[in-house]
Each structure stands twice: as C-alpha cells, then as structure tokens.
C-alpha cells in the first residue's frame, strides 16, 4: 500500500477522580459495591433534588490540569448535556461545554526514534459519570432485560481532550502511557482501564498528502470505550488499515462511531454520526459559575509532586541507564519502591538491577504489585546488605529472595534456616580444592592445555562439595593458585 496519506489521531480520555464522595452528592464514589447501594435522591435524579459541587473533585481536576501544563480558567461554568438513556437518571449529564475548567496543555511523548514531541491538550473539563446497565442474556442482541446500577452515576470525571496531534497508533500508545504516568504521580485516580476508571475514545482519520482543508472536515471515525492501552493501539492500527484500503478502492470514509472487538482485533460499526444526537447544551441553572482565584490555583501548583519528566532527569543523573529509568518512571509504585530502597542502600545501580530483574519477575509471577509486594524495599535492602557483607553470594541471594517472597520471612532468617553461609575461610576452601583436584587429573590437563571450560567444571565440583556456600570468587582464585603451584611444574 502506498503511503500517500497521513494518520491523524486525537484521543478523548475520561478519568474517574478518586474522591471519597460523588461530584454532586454525599454518596460514596468507590467502585465495586452492591448494585445501587451507593445512591441517594440526588444521584437517583429524584424530583426536586439539586446538585452541590464537590470541592475535592475540583481540587483533583485542577491538579491534573496543571500537571498537564494547562491554563486553568479563573471562571468556568457547568452545562447540561441532554439525552435519554436508562443509565442517566436526570436524562442530562452535568458537564462543561463552552467554558471548560482548563485549556491549552500538552504532554511530551518520546518516540523510540527521534526527539520528544509535544502533544497538545485542547481542554480538560469536569463532569459526572453515568450509571451502568447490566444486560441479561448472552448478547446485547438477545438480552431478555437490562438492570440499571446507579452506583457510578455522579462519580466525578475529567475528560482530557487531546489535539489531533498524534500521527500513529504507537504515538497514541506513548501518549496514553505518559498521561497515565503523570496522573499516577498526582494520585488523582485509580486509573484502572479494566474497571473503567480510565477510558479512552480514539478519533482516527487519514489526511491525503496535499490536503489543505481543515482537519475538522476530514471524515473522522471514533473508536469508543476501549479497555486497555494495548487495545487502543490495536484499534487504531486496524482502523488505519481499514480506512487506507477504502481510500485505495476509492471509497468514501463514513463518519461514524465504531467499537473494538478484543478477540478479532477489529473495529465494527456502532452508529453513524450523520444521525448524531443534538445534546441541546445549556448552562446548568442549578449551579453558580465556578470561580477560582489565582492564589488558590497557584497554591495547587506549588503542591504538585515531582512529575515523570523531572524524575527521569533525576534518575539519569544518578547513573541509572535511561532504559531502566523509563521502566521505573512509568510505574509509580516501582519508583516509590526504588526511592525507599535507595534511601537505605548506597548502590543505586544494584538496587535497580535487582528490582528490574528478580524482584520484577517474582512480583509478576505472583500477581503482586510493587506497593503490595511480599518483599518490600526494606526486605530487598536487607538482602543486598547480606551480599555486600559477603555473608552470601549473589547466586545464593536469588534463592533467598524467592524464599522471602514465598514465606514472608526476612533475609537473615531465611539464610539461617537454610543453613546457608558463604564459606570465606580460605583454609577450609583450599583443602576442598586440593581434594577435588586430586580426583580430576584429566580435567586439570584440559585446563592447562587451554580449555577454560574445564575450570568452570572444577568450580562446580567445589561448589557441590560446599553445597554452594563457598564464595565463588575465592574458589576460582584458589583453583588457579593450586593448579599453577602444584600441577603446572610437575609436568
């Protein structure tokens, strides 16, 4: 396929804010309760109720906006977006239309090839979430009924709308990954795409080379509600391919909303935008405009934590390889684990190596996370200290770490129970070395004739005799010494 078009992608990301209560009432906002147990007259849309804005939600939204380099408007307002659906109790969603909370931000993405690139954020606005429908039956098509759960109705959301600056599915992935990382450091949301606390719609269109019209006029396809970053990427990849083929065949691309099928990796048509809703937005008369003072906005800015860009820089300046730094920075829990560990242990590189290899492997295998790992940063530091003091070898430490994860015991305890201790007594090792050499004269000859592997065999034999507790460097050294001293000249 000839590449005579450019991929244009814009993303709309909905993020549920981690407040104790909902946006306009005192109900708990937490996920996972019994259906309709987190409801009250206000979020059920009973006759006569009125919304009261949750201050904390605005605080979290402003934190997010500032961290994403947005300008926060000193004056914004709420509007009603109107449509009928059983998960929307008032038949309107309180949102922000033409005067959103914040505008003109950006996120920097770093494609593998080339420079970092700023992706514009057009706007961030605050709105309430809708409830959820649970359809009875196998598929929506033959559902026998639908149950409405309004626990989520009224949970605060921010919608982060990017400019159509993304040029590939990979860039969309980078943008989402970076966005999620930034928000994770702010601690404003659970950010769980599988639970719906972060949701993404992707707008995809192709711009033929030489096209000079407005981007808005290109036929745009919106892929709705994809449940993971990986699937957003897959959906865009598929959509680019599909649209490109249509263009090649000379077909017109229809402006529409499409879903993404995880199993097939394809998008499928949901509804045509030509017959789109008229949401009849108008200013919400039940809420006064939101007026934020410059001083307050500034105080929120001052209280922002260290964000990924600053952290990357700090890690690299501490000698962490950029690739490792990237892994740490994209997982806030990993970074916090790392921070705590390196506070107590000098060697940043060693901590990083252990974390990103053995600790990461065990956490993944056990389905844990850094924040809830069976072995926390203190445990890891204790283990590293045992290696540093020469009590155990690095190889032994791997076994000890596994046991620590398994039993929850501390490093020292595991070592004691297993009867492990590195034999560092030169005399003791020397006598074992001499014994082993006596038994393998042929191997000695191999070694002396230049076969390096022969030495490794001999080291293995000594380790076997000491049940792995001899210090490997020392064994190596002693084998060479004794061979050269006792056997070389005997030739």
| Residues within the interface to other proteins (CB under 8 A) | 41, 44-53, 80, 82, 84, 86, 89-92, 148, 278, 280-282, 285-288
CB of 208 to other proteins, least distance (A): 29
CB of 31 to other proteins, least distance (A): 22
- Nearest to other proteins of 92, 354 (CB atom): 92
- Nearest to other proteins of 140, 490 (CB atom): 140
CB of 287 to other proteins, least distance (A): 5
CB of 370 to other proteins, least distance (A): 41
CB of 152 to other proteins, least distance (A): 15
CB of 78 to other proteins, least distance (A): 10
CB of 177 to other proteins, least distance (A): 37
- Nearest to other proteins of 49, 215 (CB atom): 49
Complete edge-to-edge strand list for the sheet that includes strand 92-95:
92-95, 79-82, 282-283
- Nearest to other proteins of 61, 179 (CB atom): 61
If we measure between CA atoms, which residue out of 361, 301, 356 comes closest to residue 330? 356
Burial 426-458, CB ≥16 within 10 A → b, else e: eeebbebbeebbeeeeebbebbeeeeeebbeeb
- Nearest to other proteins of 48, 427 (CB atom): 48
CB of 93 to other proteins, least distance (A): 11
- Nearest to other proteins of 276, 456 (CB atom): 276
CB of 282 to other proteins, least distance (A): 5
In angstroms, the Cα distances linking 219 to 223, 247, 252, 285 are: 13, 12, 8, 35
CB of 285 to other proteins, least distance (A): 4
Structure tokens at 454: 């022969």
- CB distance 262 to 226 below 8 Å: no
CB burial of residue 302 (10 Å; 0-12, 13-18, 19+): exposed
- Nearest to other proteins of 31, 281 (CB atom): 281
- Nearest to other proteins of 48, 419 (CB atom): 48
- Nearest to other proteins of 127, 331 (CB atom): 127
- Nearest to other proteins of 45, 120 (CB atom): 45
In angstroms, the Cα distances linking 93 to 21, 224, 489 are: 17, 18, 92
């Amino acid at each position: 396929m000839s590449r005579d078009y450019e991929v244009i992608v814009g993303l709309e990301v909905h993020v549920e804010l981690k407040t104790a209560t909902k946006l306009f009432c005192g109900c708990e906002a937490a996920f996972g309760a019994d259906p309709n147990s987190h409801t009250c007259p206000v979020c059920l849309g009973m006759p006569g109720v009125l919304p009261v804005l949750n201050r904390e939600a605005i605080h979290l939204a402003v934190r997010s906006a500032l961290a994403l380099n947005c300008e926060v408007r000193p004056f914004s307002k709420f509007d009603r977006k109107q449509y009928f659906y059983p998960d929307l109790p008032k038949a309107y969603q309180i949102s922000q239309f033409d005067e959103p909370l914040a505008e003109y931000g950006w996120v920097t993405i770093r494609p593998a090839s080339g420079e970092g690139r700023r992706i514009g954020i057009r706007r961030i606005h605050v709105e309430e979430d809708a409830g959820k429908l649970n359809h009875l039956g196998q598929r929506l098509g033959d559902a026998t009924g639908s149950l409405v759960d309004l626990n989520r109705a009224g949970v605060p959301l921010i919608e982060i709308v990017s400019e159509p600056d993304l040029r590939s599915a990979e860039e969309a992935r980078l943008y989402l990954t970076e966005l999620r990382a930034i928000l994770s450091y702010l601690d404003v949301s659970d950010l769980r795409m599988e639970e719906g606390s972060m949701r993404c719609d992707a707008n995809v269109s192709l711009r033929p080379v030489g096209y000079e019209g407005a981007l808005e006029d290109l036929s745009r396809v919106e892929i709705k509600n994809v449940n993971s970053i990986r699937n957003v990427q897959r959906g865009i990849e598929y959509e680019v391919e599909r649209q490109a083929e249509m263009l090649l065949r000379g077909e017109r691309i229809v402006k529409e909303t499409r879903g993404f099928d995880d199993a097939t990796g394809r998008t499928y048509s949901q509804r045509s935008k030509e017959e789109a809703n008229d949401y009849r937005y108008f200013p919400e008369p039940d809420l006064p405009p939101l007026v934020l003072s410059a001083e307050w906005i500034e105080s929120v800015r001052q209280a922002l934590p260290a964000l990924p860009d600053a952290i990357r820089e700090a890690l690299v300046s501490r000698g962490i390889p950029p690739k490792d730094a990237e892994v740490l920075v994209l997982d806030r829990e990993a970074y916090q684990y790392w921070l705590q560990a390196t506070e107590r242990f000098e060697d940043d590189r060693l901590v990083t190596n252990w974390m990103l290899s053995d600790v990461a492997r065990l956490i993944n295998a056990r389905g844990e996370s850094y924040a809830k790992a069976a072995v926390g940063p203190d445990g890891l530091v204790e283990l590293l200290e045992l290696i540093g003091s020469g009590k155990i070898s690095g190889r032994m430490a791997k076994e000890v770490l596994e046991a620590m994860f398994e039993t929850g015991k501390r490093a020292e305890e595991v070592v004691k129970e297993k009867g492990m201790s590195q034999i560092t007594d030169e005399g003791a090792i020397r006598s074992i070395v001499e014994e082993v050499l006596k038994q393998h004269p042929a191997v000695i000859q191999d070694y002396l004739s230049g076969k390096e592997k022969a030495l490794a065999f001999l080291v293995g034999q000594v380790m076997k005799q000491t049940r792995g507790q001899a210090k490997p460097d020392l064994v190596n050294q002693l084998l060479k010494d004794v061979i050269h001293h006792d056997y070389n000249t005997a030739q």
